[in-house]
Amino acid sequence: MRSPLLRRSLTAVVALLMTVVSLSPAAAAAESAPAAGKGACAAKAMDPHESKGEGKKRNRKVILAKVSAMCRGTKGVSKLVIDAKLQKKSGRGWKNVTKNRSTPHPGIRMGKKYVGQTFDIKCQKGTFRVYFRVSGKVDGTMRYGNWGAGNPRKNPCG
């Protein structure tokens, strides 16, 4: 179970340790530095917003959120996957308003920034956030990160 401080952090950073040793969910979420000579990937959520580009494609106003990720370390990560979905506040909890969008990035270069985004929804009133994780392939094995939440944003379309 994640601590309230981790869930409510102002900058939602989820780290994925790319080690052969398995870690507890709390340790993996808190750690972002390379360990045991392997690579580590960290992600940062960008606030939900009205997308100008996707809106033009659909000829309507839409909300989406993005996630950026970067891997560091001495040994390469052969594949990075950014999973992201948009959530809307409902009562005391959060409800998924888009399905998960998985963005694979094969052939990772350490230190390069990669971006994934949620599917979009039609603009509407409410408080939204992105729910995301990063996963990577090291030594032929996929390592899945913990899910984390970005900052809530009220009425992203104004």
Q: Give the residue, 138 or 134, on which the prediction is more confident.
A: 134
pLDDT classification of 19: cutoffs 50, 70, 90? very low
Residue 2 has which token pair?
Answer: 């994640």
CA distance 52 to 26: 37
pLDDT mean over 95-116:
95
Distance of alpha carbon 102 from alpha carbon 112, whole angstroms: 19
Q: Which strands, in side-by-side order, build the sheet including 49-51?
A: 49-51, 62-64, 121-122
Tens-place pLDDT, residues 103-112: 999 988 989 9
Distance CA 18, CA 76 (A): 10
pLDDT of residue 90: 96
